[in-house]
Amino acid sequence: MCSLRVCKIHRSDQLVVFGIESVTMHSGMADTFCHFHGAVEAVAVVVCTPAGVHGLGVDGRSVDIEPLRDTVPGLNTLLDSCTHPDR
């Protein structure tokens, strides 16, 4: 199973930084033994400032925010709360 998740990394008066992570989990059973393997990998960083929302890949290059909004559960709500704090 592989899924994406968002976590808040930093918050100040001027910016909020979110990390986008890929979480992978595998488990199985062989005879009487069970095994589990999990991994968390950085995918992108989203920076929310008064000037707007910016996405950065792990290589530091700009990434389009819209695909992340569509695929990362909860990201839209977090971005709306930092760009429209009165909502």
Q: Is residue 86 very low, low, confident or very high in pLDDT (cuts 50, 70, 90)? A: low
Cα(80)–Cα(78) distance, rounded to whole angstroms? 5
Label residue 82 by pLDDT band (50, 70, 90): confident
In the structure, what pLDDT confidence band is assigned to residue 13 with cuts at 50, 70 and 90? confident
Predicted structure pTM score: 0.80
pLDDT at 7: 92
Q: What is the pLDDT of residue 50?
A: 87
Give the pLDDT band of residue 1 (cuts 50, 70, 90).
low
What Cα–Cα distance (Å) separates residue 71 from each residue in 34, 42, 54, 58? 31, 15, 16, 17
